[in-house]
Each structure stands twice: as C-alpha cells, then as structure tokens.
Structure 1
Amino acid sequence: MNDLLDKMTGAVVGAAVGDALGGATETYLPDEIRERWGGWVEGVVEPYHPDWRTRKPTAPFHKGDGHVTDDTLMNRMLVEVYCDKRDHLDAYDVAERLVPRLLTQKVWVPELETETVLLQRLALAEKYLSLRLHWAHADPREAGVGNAVNCGAAMYAAPIGLVNAADPDGAYAEAIEVAGAHQSSFGREAAGVMAAAAATAMVPGASAQDVVATALRLAQDGTRAAIEAVAEAAGRQDHWTDAIATGAVRDAVRPFDLVAEGYRDRGLAAHRPSRLHSIEELPVALGFLLIADGEWESTVLGAVNYGRDSDSIATMGGALAGALGGSAAVRADLAETVATASRMDLAAPARDLAAVTVEIRRRDAERRAGVERAFAGLLDDGGPAAAAAPSAPRATTGGGAG
C-alpha cells in the first residue's frame, strides 16, 4: 500500500469509527456519560436509552451499537461526488451532484435500520441544502446564507483535504467554495480550516502540532481565537481524561461557543452568524488531537467522552489522527465491529478517492505547467531587467510649474 492510500484509509476509516463511537454519547455531558456506562466509554457501547425507538419519537435513531451517523454518510457521499466529477469541486457541484444524491439515491442508514434516501436522516441544517438548492434554486455560491450556523459543512470537509493532500491552502480555498452552498459565517470558516488540517495531516512525517499550526495560520476571526485558546489549554493536559475531568477544554472553548451549556437547550444566540464566535467541534477535536500527540485512539476517546456533539468531534479528530498515523492507527477490532454493525466497507471510499486524487493532481500539474509556460512567455521580450528599467521622462509643454 502506498503512502497516499495508507493515509487516506486511516483518515476515512478513522473518521467512521470515531463517528460510530461518538454517536452513542452525542448530546450528553461527561457526568451523564460516566453515570450511564459506569465509567469512561472506551469502545462500542449500547444506546444511551435502550428504548431508543420510542424515547425520541421525532428522532428515532439507533445510536450506539457501532452504528455510524450522518457524518460518515455525508463524507461517503462527497467522495462519490469526487469520483463522479473526477476533478476539484465547487458550490455548483453541491447543487448539481450532491443534492440530487441526497434526494434520490438510496443508502443503508444504520441509525434507521433501513435503506432510504439520506435526506431522511439529515438534521434540519443539512436538509436546508435541498430546500435552498433544489426547491428555491438559490445561487449555489451563497445558498448557505440564512442557514443555522453549525458544524454541518465541516463534518464532511475531510475528503476535500484528502484530495488536496499536502496543499492546505488549496484545500482551504476549495472547502470555502464548496461550503458556501451549505453554510455561512463561522460554519463555513470551520469547513475550510478542517479541510486544510486534513491536507496537512496527509504530509509524510506531519505531527499534530503541524496540523494545528496550519489551522491557526489560515483560520479567521472567532475560529482562530477558539483554536488558539483550546490549543493553549490542551498544552497543559497530560491525558484526555484529565482534560474532561477538569473541564479545561470546555472552559477554553466556551467563550466562543453560542450553543447552550446544557447543549440540548438552545438560546436565542445559538446558530447565528458572528465574526467573534466559532463552532465548538473543530477546536475541541484539535485540542484532543494535541493532548493525544496525534494518536488515534486517545484523540477519539477524548471526543467520545467529552459528549455534546461527540460524533462530529470524533469524526473530525478521527480523520485527522487517522491521516497522521495511516491505516494501522485505527484499532482493527473496532473497525471490524463498526463495519459489521453498519453494514459497510469502511475502507472502500479511501480506495476510490485515492485513485481519483492521483488523476486530479496529475491534471493539476499539467494545468500549472501550462500557466507557467504562458507566464514565461510574458517575460520573453526583454526579460525582467527590461521591464524594470526606468522610462524616459515625459515631455512637457508650456511654462507651468511642472
């Protein structure tokens, strides 16, 4: 297995397994999680509520038991879009290639235990994609304006970073373009930073510190401030259990997070655009990545036991740690359990995306070579020295002051 495929496999499988583990603890707080399972969650566990079918009638999702959530299903669908276009994506591809799949393509949805269109599983902020792009025919480049600002675009931005492996600036730009069809404000910004972080994690020999340094270099406004605060707090933690027990990571991100402390209680400011705030998920995922020094299991378990939007945090952290460590980073027993429970080949998207990425990047190189040849032609007549030479003074007429 070459390094590209190995790292992509680590990222894709690492994200899916993290998602499945985090799904069981989603929306709950650390104390609730430990009370429910009698301690830290360190693997696949049963649902928080055994009567999950009737516990939440409006959202009867079978979380836990190794089931991946919408995070993984959206990541897989974006990979399909790359494989369909076989080139870089933009906002129009979301409208013309992704949304039609959400509406018409049946997939196995583990949390619903049925095959159906993915739109049936998505949360309202993700269903907004279809409202704006399919029914309202909004301009794809600005269709995300007006949506609830959340982690919806960032949660499936990792494949953009994988396609742009080792090019975080390119990944950031592409993700910002793609996410404009889904999100605005700090939700869109988080998608760009997540993609850039994934592109850096794909660099041979990269570290967790390198990933966070890239995030800090590219992030803007509240997103940058939140990552900086969480990274500083993470640097003082020895283990993810300490970070959760002391509340250090939550304390660091709290000033930038508009979601209520109880998580399930939404205040009036939640999900509104702001240059001062950030989604919670990405900074926290990066924080646990730093505490774990890039090791996959500790990164993911920190996210799982943090609770709140734990499946998305573990998806992001799992993708980044998986890319850093490659396919061997993810515990084989966990991957096998999740694959069986979710009825899917977790590594298949990585194999498809690696092949398409090679094709895309070769075409990129050809395009770039053409650009450089054309630019060189601009310098042929006289070269740079002639271009820099001072011109003769312009003649003047009349007796003015000049």
Structure 2
Amino acid sequence: MKPKTQESPTEESRTATGHGTPLDERITGALVGAAVGDALGGPVEGYSPAQILQRHGGRVHGIVGPWNGDAWRTARPLAPYHKGDGHVTDDTLMTHALVRVYAQVRDHLDAYAIAERLVPDLMTEVRWIPELEAEALPLQRIFLAEKWLVTRLHYGHVDPREAGVGNIVNCGAAMYMAPVGLVNAGNPAGAYAEAIELAGAHQSSYGREAAGVFAAAVAAACAPGATADSVVTACLTLAKDGTRTAIERVCEAAARCPDFESALGPLREAVAPFDTVGPDYRAPSLAARRPSRLHAIEELPVALGMLLVADGDYRHCVLGAVNYGRDCDSIATMAGAVAGALGSPVPEDWSKRVAEASRLDLWAPAAALTEVTREIFARDVRRRRAHEAAFAGIGGPRCSD
C-alpha cells in the first residue's frame, strides 16, 4: 500500500468508490470532475513543475489566479484569456458542446453528427465564455486545431470521416470525449469504436487513437467495482501502436511512485520518448504533432499514470495532473473525468467555486446526458434483440451455443 502524504488518497476517499455508485452520480462525477480539473490546470498550463513551484511558492493545492496576475489581459503568451480564478477553458466548452449534440440526436453519434450538429453549435450559438469574460461564439475561443473543424467541414465540405487528416496531431479531439465514454458506460470497446468514428472528423493518427482510448477509460471507470488498475487494463486491451506502449511505460513508472510529488519527474521521463512536442512546451520540435505510429500524445498516458498514483482518488490525481504542468488543463480534465466516473467525490468547494466563477451550470449537462444515456441503452437493447431474432430466423445459432 502506498504511504499517505499530505495529498495522498485516504482510506475514506477509497471507500467512496465501488459497486454502489449509480449511473447518474458517475456521469455527474465525470463531467463535473473534468470541468474542475480543467479550471485548476488552466492558470499553470504550459509551465514546468519547477516554474509552478517558484511562481506559487509551493505546489498548487486548489484554485489559483492567473500566472501574470492582473496583467492577464495583455500579458503574452496567454492574452486575452483569463486563465485562472476558477475559469474553465476550451476543454470544457467542447465537452459541453458534445453533450448538447447527444441531447439533440439522442442516439450514438458518428462523424456526420460533428459536421451537422457540433460545427453549427460552435459557429452560430452565442454563449458565455469564461476566459473572455464575455458572451461570444465558441468559435472565437477554441484553438486553431479545433477551428479546423469549421474550416474543413463547413467551408471545405470534406467527407466528415476523413476531415481530421492534415490537422496537427494533438489532444484536441481526446479532451472532449468523456461524454462518449459515459454514453457507453461499462462498455469500453463500444466507447472506443464510437470515439474513433467521431474523432475522424477532427484528428488523425495518435490524436484520434487517444480520443478512442480516453473514451474507453471513462466507460471502463463506470463499471461496477472498477478501479484505477482495471481502467488501465481496459485501455491497454484496446490501445494501438505508440499510444499503447506509452501508457504501459508511464503506468510502470507510476506504480513505483507513492504520491504525485514523487511522480512528476518519472512520468515525464517515461512519456518523453513518445511525445513529439519536446522538452520546451512553448517551443515545439520540428517533428511536433505530425502523424506517426510510434508516438502518442502526452496528456492521456500522464492522466492515467496520475490516476494510478492516486489509487483513483479525485483530489490527488487532479492535483498531480495540475502540478505536472505542460498541457495540464487537458491532463487534469482527463484525470478528473476518469476519477469522477469511478465515483471518487469531486470536492464541493472546488466545483461550487468553478461553477460560480465560470458562470456555468456544471450539473445540467450531466442531468441531460444521464437521460440520453438511458434512452440510448434501451434502444441498443431493442436493436440487439432484433438482431438475435433475425440471426435465429436464418438458423444461425447452434445447439451448443
């Protein structure tokens, strides 16, 4: 058993997860947990653990203000975004947008749903954008890798199943795939397949693969009795190429770390051979974000590694992700979603403050997705029974089956 430290998971937090957590609480935990992780990671995104330590006089243990204080409006490289003070970033904006698509379609999604539903939502619906402290189109906030969706699908009229080809390979598609895992709760293979289909509109190569594996992780976390170990096992069963190997190496390193402080260096060392960005996050290498079967995005393996270090405890794994730095808002989004789906409680003081600061109802998307998930499951059962009847009608089953 891992020794307890100031931020190590407690026995009380471990027993909060397990068989008895119902679907609605798992969906709420995953979506609220993802948003809170996103908000905690935003103000230290792009920096190293050493820089974070120096800036904050110690490790980050909760919600902090902008890196440049009151100069956030003009300070480069983040201006004009107000990252910090509990504001969610584009990770959460995209996640909630995908939930709205599910609420419209009320069934499993494909790449055409991204073109026909998600892109218009980004382009035409004015919403409150916390980092801009203003109402604006989500398109005016999302990163260039997400604007690619609009360029390729709306203006380029590219086949949605192939639109992701040519985009930079990063975590852009993976970061908002938690709803896919929740709709397929308890079915990692189904979540993987649906996310791979959806992400084809946005990403290719290991960026698309990460989207599938992250969705599978969330689905696996929803299973009764799921643990951090069982989530990683499910991911390794499905993951391909460099993504699989990167998860293996990072999780091997995580198994030797008693707390997130001791894991910060080893997890980076383990993922570095698979990460194309390089040691300086703000000055990517020439090979950065190009398609490859040998590489992986950094965010997903590190999120899973922190989940193992924390034994599935939400607070511990999210703080580990935040203090890791680099693309830590996305790492904490992923870690928070999986830990929340496991049933580990999201600290109420964090979620309340993030909701108030971001002016967002973090619980409404979860309620909507829970209703849709039940509808989709009932539809899946009917489809499966119709298939069984059709197969039986042509003499498919054998007596020994």
TM-score by length of structure 1 reads 0.93
Q: Conserved in 1, the CA contact under 8 Å of 2:83 and 2:89?
A: yes
Secondary structure, counterpart of 2:67 in structure 1:
coil
The change in CA–CA distance for 1:59 and 1:135 in structure 2 (over 3 A counts) is farther
2-structure distance, mates of 1:231, 1:2:
26
Amino acid at match of 1:96: E
1:296 aligns with 2:314: yes
The change in CA–CA distance for 1:253 and 1:2 in structure 2 (over 3 A counts) is closer
Count residues with an aligned counterpart.
Answer: 380
Secondary structure, counterpart of 1:140 in structure 2:
coil
1:237 aligns with 2:257: yes
Please list the CA deviations of residues 370-392 of structure 1 after superposition, one character each: whole Å capped at 9, or x if unmatched.
00000011117xx747xxxxxxx
1:25 aligns with 2:44: yes
- 1:189 counterpart residue number: 209
1-structure distance, mates of 2:84, 2:311:
27
Task: Specify which of 290, 297, 301 is matched with residue 283 of structure 1.
Answer: 301
1-structure distance, mates of 2:224, 2:90:
30
Secondary structure, counterpart of 1:108 in structure 2:
strand
- 1:392 counterpart residue number: none
Task: Specify which of 259, 264, 288 is matched with residue 270 of structure 1.
Answer: 288
Please list the CA deviations of residues 138-191 of structure 1 after superposition, one character each: whole Å capped at 9, or x if unmatched.
000000000000000000011000000001110000000000000000000000
- 1:351 counterpart residue number: 367
Amino acid at match of 1:45: V
The change in CA–CA distance for 1:272 and 1:205 in structure 2 (over 3 A counts) is same
Secondary structure, counterpart of 2:256 in structure 1:
coil
Pairing of 1:168-247 with structure 2 (within 5 A): 168-244=188-264, 247=265
- 1:129 counterpart residue number: 149
2-structure distance, mates of 1:17, 1:111:
14
- 2:324 counterpart residue number: 306
- 1:63 counterpart residue number: 83
Q: Conserved in 1, the CA contact under 8 Å of 2:72 and 2:79?
A: no
Question: 1:268 offset after TM fit, Å?
Answer: 1.0
2-structure distance, mates of 1:256, 1:97:
34
- 1:378 counterpart residue number: 394
Task: Specify which of 90, 94, 98 is matched with residue 118 of structure 2.
Answer: 98
The change in CA–CA distance for 1:277 and 1:57 in structure 2 (over 3 A counts) is closer
Amino acid at match of 1:298: H
Question: 1:204 offset after TM fit, Å?
Answer: 1.7
1:319 aligns with 2:337: yes
5+ unaligned residues in a row in structure 1: which ranges? 386-402
Give the ranges of 4+ consecutive aligned residues of structure 1 lying more than 4 Å apart after TM superposition: none
Q: Conserved in 1, the CA contact under 8 Å of 2:272 and 2:278?
A: no
- 1:342 counterpart residue number: 358
1:255 aligns with 2:273: yes
Question: 1:260 offset after TM fit, Å?
Answer: 2.0
2-structure distance, mates of 1:377, 1:325:
42
- 1:144 counterpart residue number: 164
Amino acid at match of 2:365: P
1-structure distance, mates of 2:360, 2:398:
58
Taking only aligned residues, the RMSD between alpha carbons, in angstroms, comes to 1.4
Task: Specify which of 19, 24, 47 is matched with residue 5 of structure 1.
Answer: 24
1:49 aligns with 2:65: no
Question: 1:56 offset after TM fit, Å?
Answer: 2.3
Please list the CA deviations of residues 188-245 of structure 1 after superposition, one character each: whole Å capped at 9, or x if unmatched.
000000000000001121000010001101000000000000000000000001112x
- 2:94 counterpart residue number: 74
1-structure distance, mates of 2:350, 2:115:
35
Question: 1:58 offset after TM fit, Å?
Answer: 7.3
2-structure distance, mates of 1:160, 1:57:
32
TM-score by length of structure 2 reads 0.93
Secondary structure, counterpart of 1:115 in structure 2:
strand
2-structure distance, mates of 1:87, 1:63:
34
- 1:14 counterpart residue number: 33
Amino acid at match of 1:223: T
Secondary structure, counterpart of 2:165 in structure 1:
coil
1:363 aligns with 2:369: no
Amino acid at match of 2:298: E
Task: Specify which of 58, 63, 76 is matched with residue 39 of structure 1.
Answer: 58
Question: 1:49 offset after TM fit, Å?
Answer: 0.6
